[in-house]
Each structure stands twice: as C-alpha cells, then as structure tokens.
Amino acid sequence: MLPKLDVELVEIKGAGCCGFPLNSLDNLTWTYLTARNLALCEDQGLDMLPLCNGCHLSMCEVKHALQSDAAMKEKVNAILASEGLRYNGTVRVRHVIEVLHDDIGPEKIRNVVSKPMAGLRFAAHYGCHALRPSELGRPDDSRNPMKLETLIGALGARWDVYPERLDCCGAGIAVSAGESSLKIAGAKLEKLRTAGFDGLVTTCPFCMRMFDARQEAIGALLGADTSFPTFYYTQLLGLCMGLDRATLGLQLNMSPVDEVVQKFQAASA
C-alpha cells in the first residue's frame, strides 16, 4: 500500500534479525544485531521502517542506549568494522502508524479512498510495544493513543474506544506460558464480539498472529466460539482503494474476514 501513497520502499541489502529475542540473554549480541541493521541503513542512505512492533522497539531502544553509552557504541563499532560498517545513530526509525498518520496524513488517505467503509465499526489494537515504554518516544501517546482510530475514520468506518483496547495480545509469554497467552488473547476477542464490533484492526504481526492465526486454538482452550474478523489496517485501506483480495493477502487471514468483506462490497456496490 505504501508505494501507492508515494512512499518508496527499498530492501535493505544484507539485513538480518533485529536481535529482539536476545535482549534479555545477551545485551551485546542484541545491541550489535540491531545496530548492524541501522548501520546498513546509514550506509545505504535509508530511513528504517520495521513493520513489527518488536523490531521497532528494538531499534528505538538501541538508539536510545547508544546515545548515552559511548563504551558500548565503541564495542559495537569494533565488531561492525569487520564488515566495513559503522553505527553513527543518524537513521530515522519510523513506525507504520507514524508513516500513515504523520507523514502521509489522514486527509491524503481520505482522498485516495474510492470505496468508503460506511456502516462498518472497527476496534483498534496498537500492541504493547507500539506504546510503551513511553520515555523512548513511541508512535502514539501511551495512555490515550488515537492515531490508529483516526486512520480507521479516514476510511469512512466507525470506531469506538473500548475498555480493553490497550490490553496485551499475549504474544510476549507465548513460549513460556502458552495457555495463559491464549487466554489473554481470547478474553479480548470475547469482549469485542460482545461489544458488537465488525472487526479488529492492528498493524503488528505479533498481535495479528495471536488474534488471527490462533483463534482456533483459543476457542478449543476456552470451550467457546472466539472467531472474530481480524485485519491489518493496510488490508482495509487497500479494499477502500479498490484493490483485489489476492493483492491484499486476505486469503492468508485465518479469521472469518469474508463476512466483513462481503458487507463492505455490498455497501460499496
């Protein structure tokens, strides 16, 4: 969707893992892996757009840490030197919500919407790492974020603030406490169904996996029907711009998105 909104996307040559899974095990390895990707961006003259909340947080945390830790920065650059790289800390790290809301803007999105989502009501889910820790300067206000809701409104859809909107998806404890992770996601899905929303909207792949791909496992664990349409925001934006389902990857969603797509198509016909 971003190239259609005049954002040039360039593959980072040589990019690797952001190191986020290692941040509690080996601080130097995590810092090096993240700084390496940022150094690659610097070397290639690019801004960084991590599409994952965890990757975005990792980039922001390392930038923040290396600004005040000259010794760690020197260690990291000594390792990077073997590849002819150097980390200077000059790369802008942008979240997809920032690009859509702050750089492109809701007004431009309204102008490219050829088929508004009138009559549909969505719940926004930001994900923990998009909002916290607030002292790092996250994409939106940690207590009362509104950018994703504003972007939903730019599609012509309705949105509502609901009590559980800042709750965790449970992905952070999926490995260590699998059942608890599913219960956390399931509790939110049940609340959204009860509240009468047409679907859930997120931008985070971790959250998408919990709320979309894990619905069958959640339902089996809870002994309840927790099926609920879950979308990436960019998928809804693409529908409003007239793109087909295959282009938007809607066939890959594992939640019951067809009912929402059918409502949208009927309303926009």
DSSP state of 121: E
pLDDT of residue 175: 87
E strand or H helix at 266 = helix 258-268
Q: Are residues 172 and 218 in the same domain?
A: yes
Q: Which segments in the chain show pLDDT lower than 70?
A: none
Residue 125 sits in the same domain as residue 234: yes
Distance of alpha carbon 11 from alpha carbon 197, whole angstroms = 36
First to last CA, the chain: 22
Does 50 share its domain with 178?
no
The pLDDT of residue 21 is 84
pLDDT at 269: 77
Largest CA distance in the chain: 62
What pLDDT was estimated at residue 71? 98
Residues 228 and 157 in one domain: yes
Strand partners, 200: 123, 230
Q: Which of 105, 126, 23 has the alpha carbon at shortest distance from 65?
A: 23
Q: What is the span of the domain harbouring residue 22?
A: 15-83
CATH number of the domain enclosing 121: 3.40.50.11810
Say if residue 132 is in the same domain as residue 264.
yes
Residues 120, 79 share a domain: no
Q: For residue 52, give every residue at least 6 positions away whose Cβ sits within 8 Å of its Cβ, in sequence order, or none.
A: 18, 204, 205, 206
Res 187: pLDDT? 96
Q: Is residue 255 part of a domain?
A: yes
- pLDDT value of residue 147: 98
Amino acid, res. 82: S
Based on the domain organization, do 38 and 73 belong to the same domain? yes
Q: Does 173 share its domain with 67?
A: no
- Number of structural domains (the chain) is 2
